[in-house]
Amino acid sequence: MYAIIETGGKQYPIAPGDELKVELLAGEPGTGVEFDRIVAISKDDGTLLTGDELKSAKVLATIEGAERGEKIVVFKFKRRKHYRRRTGHRQKYTKVKISDIVV
């Protein structure tokens, strides 16, 4: 069984036991989190659930910890104007382990 959830403006395909990095969530490591925005669920027998069939469905997960992504360099440049700006950005993520998909 697998599902597609939406969190932080992005969609992730997940299955029980998976670990993934999502946008920063509030909570301490070891606490449970519940995702209720589910796009689709595929059962083991091949049936696909979407739309109104998923009103009571949810995905249960545990927060493993917070991480920071790779540094992205932002460089602005205008030729012949002596204009150069160099900044960077590191996105914060939450590492989550999926424990169960409840239909």
User: What is the spatial distance between Cα 85 and Cα 68, in angstroms, rounded to a whole number?
Assistant: 23
Is pLDDT at 6 greater than 90 in this prediction? yes
What average pLDDT does the structure give for the chain?
A: 93
The residues, any chain, with a CB within 8 Å of residue 62's CB and separated by 6 or more, are 30, 31, 32, 33, 96, 97, 99
Is pLDDT at 50 greater than 90 in this prediction? no
pLDDT attached to residue 24: 94
Cross-strand partners of 43: none
Order across the sheet with 2-7: list the strands.
10-14, 2-7, 38-42, 48-50
Q: Is 81 helix (H, G, I), strand (E, B) or coil?
A: coil
pLDDT bucket at 9, cuts 50 / 70 / 90: very high
User: What is the spatial distance between Cα 63 and Cα 65, in angstroms, rounded to a whole number?
Assistant: 6
Average pLDDT value for residue range 10-16: 95
Cross-strand partners of 23: 93
Of 50-54, 90-94, 97-101, the poorest mean pLDDT is in 50-54
Domain ranges of the chain: 2-102
pLDDT attached to residue 35: 92
Average pLDDT value for residue range 46-73: 91
